[in-house]
Structure 1
């Protein structure tokens, strides 16, 4: 990680340990998660008076500094990958099930980086009745994989860069159309409703419809 070529990855890990503002222990225990400077959220859990941040135990608190506060933890915490981020968000259950059925979980847990336009559970529910159930069947695995990889672009494309594009080549092979109107972004027929959910191996932009390869 200390090698120059891993500078970006190291910065991502380190900024995942930093939260903006001065959050004292008394306030930390009231939280269930916190947005980090890296962009994604850490999970905070209090059990039996002990505090965990992701998989790390907080072993010392409230070391005050001139420009903030330090809480000591007993493990290095790592930004969640795209799959784990989607699962922990709770609103992408159908997407998670589809990735599993299409054998794409390991791919999107890989190094990447990837940009995923992630349809919510509500987006999948808009499809004609029975569509999702049919796609999850083993015999439709290839078709499902084609649809899912149409939601993925290679590289980490943040919202500020997405708006400069008119189209983007997907991992599936064909291109999605990107249009910006009145400050709103559309990817094919879907509206982008949340942007820049940063993950350890890329970024997620949330969309309100499932987009289908042309």
Structure 2
């Protein structure tokens, strides 16, 4: 198996996410033993943001880091685990609402692929960048 970063790097749908994680200096953290659960936005999810947002965030590393950490939860949580919990606290510190009543949603994002197993955690692919606050 591979770690969370290796899986993201090997998937063409995560080019923007990988670039953002590198810019924020979070590669080593996400390669550490963890475990972590990552809600991973696709390139299409990043493309939904207003024009210029990504460039602005790459120039504002504290804000970029906060947003990326909002997509990460401590522990290895499957869809079934998340459904039971209903909410989780991100490593950024904010609460994230989980809704599995009709499909699988993380806050305002739909999960496109769930339970991607990594050496150091779990990845759930989402269709929208989720924002704290």
Q: Say whether the fold is shared (TM-score over 0.5).
A: yes
| TM-score interval, normalised by the smaller of the two chains | over 0.9
What corresponds to 1:188 in structure 2? Answer: 107
Q: Post-superposition, which runs of at least 4 consecutive aligned residues in structure 1 deviate over 2 A?
A: none
What corresponds to 2:46 in structure 1? Answer: 124
Instruction: State the structure with bigger RCO (CA 8 A, min sep 6), 1 or 2.
Output: 2
Matched residue count: 133
Aligned to 2:49, what secondary structure does the other structure show? coil
Name the TM-score, length of structure 2 as normaliser: 0.97
TM-superposed CA distance for 1:128, in Å, is 0.2
Name the TM-score, length of structure 1 as normaliser: 0.61
Aligned to 2:84, what secondary structure does the other structure show? coil
What corresponds to 1:162 in structure 2? Answer: 82
CA–CA separation in structure 2 for the residues paired with 1:112 and 1:118 = 16
- Answering whether residue 43 of structure 2 is matched by residue 112 of structure 1, we say no
Structure 1 gaps, min length 5 = 1-78
Structure 2 gaps, min length 5 = none
TM-superposed CA distance for 1:151, in Å, is 0.3
CA–CA separation in structure 1 for the residues paired with 2:34 and 2:11 = 20
What corresponds to 2:130 in structure 1? Answer: 211
Higher strand share: 1
Aligned to 2:56, what secondary structure does the other structure show? helix
Match of 2:12 among 57, 73, 90: 90
1:78-119 residue CA offsets vs partner (Å, 9 max, x unmatched)? x21101101101110000000011000100000100000000
Aligned to 1:163, what secondary structure does the other structure show? helix
Higher helix share: 2
CA-based RMSD of the aligned residues comes to 0.8
TM-superposed CA distance for 1:165, in Å, is 2.1
CA–CA separation in structure 1 for the residues paired with 2:125 and 2:13 = 10
What corresponds to 1:202 in structure 2? Answer: 121
**Pairing of 1:43-62 with structure 2 (within 5 A):** none
Aligned to 1:213, what secondary structure does the other structure show? coil
